[in-house]
C-alpha cells in the first residue's frame, strides 16, 4: 500500500487510525503492526517500511513511501530516468549502463 513521503506523518496517521484497509469491501482502520523486512532499493537506499494490520479482516499491509513502487527494486526516480532515456531512443543496454543497473 503506497502512503506519503514523510515517515513521521505516516507513523502519526497510522497511530491515530487515519489509514484505512485497502482490501475490497473492508475499509476498517489499520493499526501499527511492526516492520517489514529491510531491503535495498536502487535510488532510495535501504528501506524498512512500516507494517499495519487491519482490525476488521486482520490482513497486514506494508506501508510503502511514494518514492518506491510495489514489487520493484528501483526507486521511482530510477524508473523515470529509464523511461526518459527510452523515449530519447536509447536501447536497454545503454540505459542500464547509464543508470548503473544490471541488463
Region 2-19: mean pLDDT is: 92
This prediction's pTM: 0.82
Contact 47, 39 (CB under 8 A): yes
Above pLDDT 70, what percent of the chain?
100
Strand ranges, E, within the chain: 30-35, 39-41, 45-47, 50-54, 60-63
pLDDT band at 20 (very low <50, low <70, confident <90, very high): very high
Whether 103 has a pLDDT exceeding 90, the answer reads no
Region 45-70: mean pLDDT is: 94
Amino acid at each position: 500500500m503506497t502512503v506519503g513521503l514523510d515517515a513521521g506523518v505516516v507513523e502519526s496517521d497510522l497511530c491515530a487510525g487515519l489509514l484505512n484497509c485497502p482490501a475490497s469491501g473492508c475499509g476498517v482502520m489499520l493499526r501499527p503492526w511492526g516492520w517489514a523486512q529491510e531491503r535495498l532499493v536502487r535510488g532510495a537506499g535501504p528501506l524498512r517500511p512500516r507494517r499495519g494490520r487491519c482490525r476488521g479482516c486482520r490482513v497486514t499491509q506494508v506501508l510503502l513511501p511514494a518514492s518506491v513502487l510495489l514489487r520493484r527494486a528501483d526507486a521511482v526516480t530510477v524508473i523515470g530516468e529509464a523511461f526518459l532515456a527510452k523515449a530519447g531512443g536509447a536501447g536497454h543496454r545503454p540505459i542500464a549502463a547509464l543508470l548503473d543497473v544490471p541488463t
